[in-house]
Amino acid sequence: MVARHDKTTNPNLLDGLLQARRGTAFFARKLNELNDEELDDGSLLPGWTRRHVVAHVGYNARAIARLIEWAGTGVETPMYVSAEARNHEIDFGATLPPFALRNLFDHSAIHLSVEWRDLAADAWHAKVKTAQGRVVAAEETIWMRTREVWVHAVDLANGATFSDIPVPVLERLLKDITGVWKTRGTDIGLIVRVTGRQQELVFGDIGAEDPVTVSGTLADVASWATGRDTAAVTAGRAGTITPVVSAPAWI
């Protein structure tokens, strides 16, 4: 049988697809380590069990696949009918029997991978609209999915940490988050400093007169910035240690 390959030959797209598929495999591994009863336990997301996380990631793959279908056919196919429909879908998925919930994740991931694989090279530039109303090129769906699978693998609360997420993913995630803060003006008086590197990364209200500076490793700062964990970062103002502030909302 002849092997099937991605139609695109763009090296940047291929690298992105590899990172997304690796993240999917990582999520699958953390999911498969859980027995059926453990799916009922809480996740790192308030109000969500592990079941909700799995359902969300599964339905997210289906939603992104709809965007790829849109890009390939030119027929508008929204991710979701509405925010309410999306939330209802997740709540319903969380009630599925364990085998059905696991199948949802597996089958939706394969479906999305195939849609990516078969998308014509020129269709990656086609414009689609995200659930938040952003108009983006279809290639942006790779990053959308990459972020979902890596971060939500941690949210399964099964031993994965932000340190397991590849550095390029963490760097882009942090740039995205701080970019949202800047656009909204919610980073005023806040500096984010990534330490433990040959060259520090600094984001936020550069030039502020008396900023609060939150510092930590890339993984720890990303965990804080996404609203997951504040324990491993420090905060200070004018050389004095201060309580760590909650990160501004980003989604």
C-alpha to C-alpha distance for 43 and 50, rounded to whole angstroms: 5
Reduced to 3 states (helix: H, G, I; strand: E, B; else coil), residue 128 is strand
pTM of the complete model? 0.93
Determine the Cα–Cα distance for residues 129 and 186; give it in Å rounded to an integer: 25
Domain residue spans of the chain: 11-160, 167-242
Burial class (CB in 10 A: 0-12, 13-18, 19+), 24: buried
pLDDT for the residue 251: 82
Look at domain 11-160 and name its CATH class: mainly alpha
- Summarised one tens digit per residue, pLDDT across range 29-87 is 999 999 999 999 999 999 999 999 999 999 999 999 999 999 999 999 999 999 899 99
Q: Which residues contact 224 (CB under 8 A, 6 or more apart)?
A: 214, 216, 230, 232, 233, 244, 247
- Is the pLDDT score of 149 beyond 70? yes
* Length in residues, the chain: 251
pLDDT-based confidence at residue 172 (cuts at 50, 70, 90): very high
Q: Is domain 167-242 annotated with CATH 3.30.1050.20?
A: yes
Distance of CA 11 to the CA centre of its chain: 22
Q: What is the CA radius of gyration of the chain?
A: 19
- Which one, of 226, 227, 199, 193, lies nearest residue 211 by Cα? 193
According to DSSP, the residues that pair with 136 across neighbouring strands are 128
Residue 1 has pLDDT above 60, yes or no: no
Q: Tell me the per-residue pLDDT of 173-182, one tens digit each, with 9 for 90 and over.
A: 999 999 999 9
Rounded mean pLDDT, 11-25: 97
For the chain, what percent of residues have pLDDT higher than 90?
84
Yes or no: say if 206 and 200 are a contact pair by the CB < 8 Å rule: no
pLDDT value at position 239? Answer: 81
pLDDT score for 219: 96
Mean pLDDT calculated for residue range 246-251 = 89
d(CA 19, CA 168): 9
pLDDT tens digits for 89-132? Answer: 999 999 999 999 999 999 999 999 999 999 999 999 999 999 98
Report the pLDDT value the prediction gives residue 3, as an integer from 0 to 100. Answer: 46
Identify the residue whose tokens are 């859980």.
34
